[in-house]
Structure formats: structure tokens, C-alpha cells
Amino acid sequence: MDIVGNVLPQVLKDEATEDKGEMARLQSFVGAIAVADLVKTTLGPKGMDKILKPTGPGQEMTHITVTNDGATILKSMYVENPAAKILIEISKTQDEEVGDGTTTVAVLAGELLREGEKLIQKRIHPQQVIAGWRIARDVALKRLRDISTENDIESQEFHNDLLKIARTTLSSKLITTDRDYFADLCVKAVLRLKGSSNLDYIQIIKIPGGTIRDSYLDDGFILKKQITIGCKRRIENAKILVANTAMDYDKIKIYGTKVKVNSMDKVAEIEAAEKEKMKHKVDKILQYQPTVFVNRQLIYNYPEQLLADSGITVIEHADFEGMERVAAATGAEILSTFDAPERKDQILGFCELIEEIMIGEEKMVKFSGCKKNEACTIVLRGSSIHILDEVDRSIHDVLCVLITTVKNRRVVWGGGNSEMQMAAACDEEAKRVQGKQALAIEAYARALRQLPTIICDNGGYDSAELVQNFKVELEKGNLSYGLNMNDGSIGDMKELGVKECMRVKEQALLAASEAAELIMRVDDIVKCAPRKRERA
């Protein structure tokens, strides 16, 4: 302080800390780069997986997760460093927005900051770096959009694009050996949605047992429930009534109601009335003449028996999502009141066959030949629940990417092609820019090139040589070349059929640049005193 002998009075609360300038910057760089380094080994087709072990009493050995998915890894980490938190946040957003590229986005932001740190050490002002990055980002984005191609949604080419994208996405996952099989499966599932992007309608059922190869996309729709005992196990040409209504006893909804009786006779009367009420409801349901009755809530044995007696197959306790899917698949309306039997043609769903099937140990209900057929089911098999969980995450990623592609339709070549092209665009731009920003633009290009470099490194190939050769190929005008990770060479992506969704790349680029900029702008970190946890 400028006054000698005067100690600065304590301004912040006890335990609160403030770091300024270099210290603050150093802290955020270290944090962000550490996070990026942590996930970067999972990048690319030869990336490795991580084991996540939960903390907390009694959980040490249970519920471990083995995964390759960036968002899953980052989400389950507890970090203290605020900059690291920002990286985790963008990864999460990437997951929500496009579903894939969650590792890429964190790694790219980390690499940008690593380059940024070098520039800061050269005494370039952070704002200058940001100014350069902004130019670079715009140039890169423009190049990315320019190199992307679009096919008509109905065409065979688009269908092939989807298959290729699915294969590319799967190639970095556990099920890479069966990627052709799963790519086909996922594309079919997504096309079943007919342009809708509601992923809830694709149900994934995981049942341990068998091998991954035994997984399949069911041509019908599977509900993970059982048909109630005493009902028919197989119904042809089923008319389905989907309901969300209380079928235990109808509790009185009017507030403050109490039943008070003064004799045993009255109790019997009330009981009879209650039964009567239930029967009345069942009668109303029967007016719709369904052959199958699916309810979200429990069905007590009395109404169940009544329904079964009328030859109606009953499925109870279908969860909310399951019910929505049944409704979507069979074209039924979800009912809660039963006073309009004249509309039954609109209300009832239809499917050709309902039967109880066994997958592994579990009994399920399969609806095939559905009227609307917009929902579908993927059954995953595998030797352990950990594998199944990871396959589930991979399939989820693929489905997200495919849906995004269906919406956006633009595709780019994979194998690091888009990153290298963007980097090349930045390098060209850097030659034309005056001032220190040019250094930042070059840094941006270097950060982009780090992505293919890391992919090579993870595969155990000579990254420096490969990336340089790659650069030369692009310079020669072979614009569809990319890394061939099967044999560690540079190859034509057109022949290899490696494609990626442009939207995923775009979102990763935008989010990573924004996050890097955000962290770069910080020159002061104020940490409040951590809240004291009251011990119960």
C-alpha cells in the first residue's frame, strides 16, 4: 500500500480470498489445462476409457462407471478451481445441445488457453489475444460452413451420410468393432421418428446377458412391464386403451372429507358403495370396448379381476414415459376420464399383435404392427451392466448426433479434416492481419491442430509427422483427406467414408472460444468463504 506503516484493513470476510493479476490468471490457466489434459486421452478412435469411482460411505466399490464420454467424466468430477468449472459447464452444454463432442469442446478450450498462456508470457495484453481469437474464430467458422455439404433429406445420399456419421461417432466408443451394425440400428431408429426430435420416443432397454452383438432394434415397441396374471398373453388386432387414472380405490378429492360411521352395517354399506364406484368406472371403461388396458397407476385386484373377466388384458403401473411411448406408438389418447365412448375410434390405439416375450430373464410386453409406429425400442445386451451403461451412453451420443444432423443436414469430412481446414484458414488470415493480433490468430490455428495431434498421439502414431503430412495434402488441394486411424496414415476420407455432423463441430468451436475468452478476460478471482455445513 502507498502509506508506509499502515496495514490494509481487512475488507473481505474471514477465509474469503482475492487473487489478482498474474496469480489469478495462472490459477485459471492451470485449472483449465488440467481438466483438458484429463479428458484428452479419451479423444479419437484410439482413445482410452476412464473408471469413475463414487465417493461417500458404503459406495466405494459399488456403482463404478467405465466411460469414454467426456460429459459423463467431467460431470462426475468435483473440482475446486473456478476455471475448471467453466470447462465442465461448456461440456455439459454441448451434451445438452448436440449430445456429442463433449470431450472435443473441453480439449479445444484447454488448448486455446495453453496457447494463450504462452502469448501472455510474451507480454501481450489479454485483450489483444482475445481480439485475435475473435478474428480467428470468425474465419474458422466461415471455413467450416463453406466446406460443409448438404444433401436432400429424402435422398439416398443423406441416408448414407447418416450411416457414415453414426459410424464415425461410434468409432471412438467401446462398441467400435460392431460399429456398422450399431450405425445401421441407430439410423433406423432415428428415421422412425420421422423428423421429430423427441429422444424420449426411443427407448433403450438394457438387459445383461448375451453379447453386444445380440442387441437389436425391435421392429415393434417393447414395454418393460408384465401382463397381469390371469390375462391373455397374446392378443391379435389389439385395441388399446391408455389411461392415467387411479384404479386402486378412488380417493375423494374434495378437501377435508372424512368418512365417519357409527355401526358395522354402515361400514358394509360404504364398502359396497366404494366397490360400486369402482365397478362403475370399469363399466365406463368397458364401453370403449378395448382389448388391452394400459394404466400408469396401480390397479387393485378387484378392478383387475373385473377387467380380466371381460377378457381384457391388463397392464398396470406403466411409468409416465412408457405410457407416452405406448400412446405415440399405437396412436392412442391418454385418458383420465371415461365419459366419451362415442369418440372411441380416435381414442383407442391399435396394433396387430401384443405378446409377452422373454429377453434374458425378464418378461416384457411387445407391441408389433403399431398404427403410428413413432416410438421404438432398442434392446441392448452385453456381458455386464457396466458395459451396457457405456453402450447406452454411446448409443445416446449417436442418436443425438443423428437427430442434430436430421435437423441441420450439413456434414463435413471427419478424421480431423475440418479442424485442419479451419486451422489453414486461420493461418491464411494471420498473414493479412496487422499488429499483435496476428500472433493470437496463429495460436488459434495451433490449438485447432492440436485436436488431430492428440488423436494421433492417443493412437500411438507419430503425430508430428502425420499432422505435417496432412497439412501438405491439404495444401496440395486434396481437401477431403484426413487421418486414417486404422493404419496411421493420411487417407482420403471420401473412400474411408468418415463423416461428421457440422453442427457438432460448430457448437464445439463456438462454445470453446467463448469459454476461453471468458477465462482469458479474468484478472481477479474473489472466492467467498465456503458455507459452513451444519452437522446434523
Partner 1 sequence: MSLAFDDYGRPYIILREQGSKKRMKGLEAYKSNILAAKAIANTLSSSLGPKGMDKMLVSADGDVSVTNDGATIVEKMEIQHPTAKLLVELSQSQDAEIGDGTTGVVVLAGKLLEQALTLLDKGIHPLKISDGFDRACDVAIKHLDQIAEEIDIQQNDHEALIQAACTALGSKVVSKRKRELGKIAVTAVLDVADLTRKDVNLDLIKIQTKTGGSVEDTRLISGILIDKDMSHPQMKKEVTDAKICLLTCPFEPPKPKTKHNINISNAEDYKKLYQQEQQYFVDMVKLVKNSGANIALCQWGFDDEANHLLLQNELPAVRWVSGTDVELIAMATGARIIPRFQEITPQKLGKAGSIREVQFGTSNERMLVIENCQCTKAVTILIRGGSQMIVDEAKRSIHDAICVIRNLIKDNRIVYGGGSAELACALQVLQYADEVSSVEQYAVRSFADALEGIPNCLADNCGLNPITSVAQAKSRQLAEKNPRIGIDCMELGTSDMKEQKIYETLSSKKQQIQLATQVVKMILKIDDVIAPDDY
Residues with catalytic roles: 69, 102-103, 397
The answer to whether the CB of 285 falls within 8 A of the CB of 306 is no
Nearer to partner 1, 48 or 261 (CB): 261
Are the C-beta atoms of 444 and 466 separated by less than 8 Å? Answer: no
**Max CA separation in the chain (angstroms):** 98
- Write the single-letter amino acid at 115: E
Q: In the complex with partner 1, which residue's Cβ is closer, 431 or 533? A: 533
Which position among 98, 112, 223, 502 is part of the footprint of partner 1 (CB under 8 A)? 98
Q: Helices marked H in 409-436 — which ranges?
A: 417-432
From the CA atom positions of the chain, what is the Rg in Å?
Answer: 30
User: Which x/- pattern over 481-500 shows residues binding partner 1 (rule: CB under 8 A)?
Assistant: --------------------
What part of residues 294-333 is at the interface with partner 1 (CB under 8 A)? 324, 327, 333
**Which of 36, 312, 326, 335 is the binder for partner 1 (CB under 8 A)?**
335
Q: Is 254 in the site for partner 1 (CB under 8 A)?
A: yes
- Smallest distance, Å, CB 319 to partner 1? 13
Question: Residue 285 interacts with partner 1 (CB under 8 A)?
Answer: no
Counting Cα atoms < 13 Å in the Cβ hemisphere of 230 gives 13
Is 233 a binder of partner 1 (CB under 8 A)? no
- For residue 18, state whether it binds partner 1 (rule: CB under 8 A): yes
Cell triple for residue 21? 493479476
Least distance to partner 1 from the beta carbon of 398, Å?
11
Considering only 104, 404, 453, 463, the residue that binds partner 1 (CB under 8 A) is 404
Which residue, 229 or 254, has its beta carbon nearer to partner 1?
254
Within positions 124 to 163, which residues make up the interface with partner 1, using CB under 8 A?
125-128, 134
**Best CA proximity match to 106, nearest among 522, 450, 491, 489:** 450
What's the DSSP call for residue 521?
Answer: T
Q: What gap in Å lies between CA 173 and CA 190, rounded to an integer?
A: 19
SS3 (DSSP) at 162: helix
Q: How far is CA 461 from CA 45, 142, 253, 468, in A?
A: 12, 31, 69, 13
Contacts with partner 1: how many residues (CB under 8 A)? 94
d(CA 455, CA 47): 7
Q: Hey, what long-range contacts does 228-232 have (CB within 8 A, 24 or more apart)?
A: 228/299, 228/304, 228/308, 228/313, 228/314, 228/315, 228/316, 230/304, 230/305, 230/308, 231/308, 231/312, 231/313, 231/314, 232/311, 232/313
Site for partner 1 in 504-523 (CB under 8 A): 507, 510-515, 517-519, 521-523
Q: Does 369 bind partner 1 (CB under 8 A)?
A: no
**Closest CB to partner 1 among residues 301, 320:** 320
Q: Applying CB under 8 A, does 368 fall inside the site for partner 1?
A: no
Judged by CB under 8 A, which of 306, 403, 411, 424 binds partner 1? 403
Please, what is the minimum distance in Å from the beta carbon of residue 289 to partner 1?
18
Alpha-carbon span 331 to 238, nearest angstrom:
12
The answer to the question of residue 248 lying near partner 1 (CB under 8 A) is no
Q: How many CB atoms lie within 10 A of CB 58?
A: 7
Amino acid at 289: Q
Please, what is the minimum distance in Å from the beta carbon of residue 176 to partner 1? 22
Nearer to partner 1, 278 or 308 (CB): 278
List 122, 258, 476, 535, residue binding partner 1 (CB under 8 A): 258
At closest approach, how far in Å is the CB of 260 from partner 1? 5
Q: Which stretch in 8-16, 163-171, 375-383, 437-445 sits in contact with partner 1 by CB under 8 A? A: 8-16
Q: Output DSSP code: residue 239.
A: E
Q: Where in 76-95 is the site for partner 1 (CB under 8 A)? A: 80, 82-83, 85-86, 89-90, 92-93, 95
Judged by beta carbon, residue 253 or residue 535, the one nearer partner 1 is: 253
Q: Which of residues 188-227 bind partner 1 (CB under 8 A)?
A: 197-200
Reference 285, options 259, 320, 246; nearest CA is 246
